[in-house]
Structure 1
Amino acid sequence: MSTSIVFIVYVNEASQAARFYADLLEIKPSFETPGYIAFDLGDGADLALWSGQIDGPIPAVPRTSEVCLALPGGPDAIDRQFERWVAKGVRVVSEPHDEVFGRTFVVADADGNLIRVAPVD
């Protein structure tokens, strides 16, 4: 079995989405083409943004991805991350609240893909 995994998030405009994710996650792309941009997350994991085509975006395509950023530090760390991202102007889907797995919130990228922040398991 491979020791590498790539999580692909479908977007309309890869370069625009890459700027959003680079700013949000405070990382730089590790691989770039016009319609596919990847970020090395470490330990054999990558986050890739893929437009699925090079001819142009298809805005009507529904987006259903959810990626989760697992943070150490407990509820206070989750709330601080929320405040930092809100200051960057992200679209909030769900404000910080407690779930069975701990404190969490959800934001969305320009394509409607969800980004959850939750505690490390």
Structure 2
Amino acid sequence: MTDPNMTILYVDSPVASAAFYSELLDKTPVEASPTFALFVLHSGSQLGLWSRHTVEPAATVGAGGGELAFSVSDNDQVQALHDAWRARGLVIAQAPTTLDFGHTFVALDPDGHRLRVYALSEG
């Protein structure tokens, strides 16, 4: 079996979502059209933003049906990103908290997809 190397989020407007993720990731999409945008990430994986109105076969997932997770090295980085994203106006769905796997918070993109930042617990 091969390893997945792309995450696709179904979005209302790939153009608007590409602008959001360009700023969030500090990257320019390698492909951008009214129906699809594609980012190649530092890890080599890809993030696709596909119009939920044109994807075939039709998507059955409602708004906010996905989560992107961003691993950071420690709790201070979790807090720093939370503060920066909140200052940029991102909706915070979960304030920084410690769960069984580590310290985390969750923000939302314009389509309601979750953006989880976390630092794993040591141990």
Q: Give the TM-score taking structure 1 as reference length.
A: 0.84
- The 1:31–1:40 alpha-carbon spacing in structure 2 relative to 1, beyond 3 Å, is same
Question: RMSD of aligned C-alpha atoms?
Answer: 2.4
Aligned to 1:66: 67
Gaps spanning 5+ residues in structure 2: where?
55-61
User: 1:2 offset after TM fit, Å?
Assistant: 5.0
State the AA in 1 paired with 2:15: S
Partners in 1 of 2:14 and 2:120 — Cα distance? 28
The 5 Å alignment of 1:15-94 reads 15-54=15-54, 61-72=62-73, 74-94=74-94
How much identity, in percent, do the aligned residues show? 30
| Number of equivalenced pairs | 117
Aligned to 2:116: 116
Aligned to 1:58: none
Gaps spanning 5+ residues in structure 1: where?
55-60
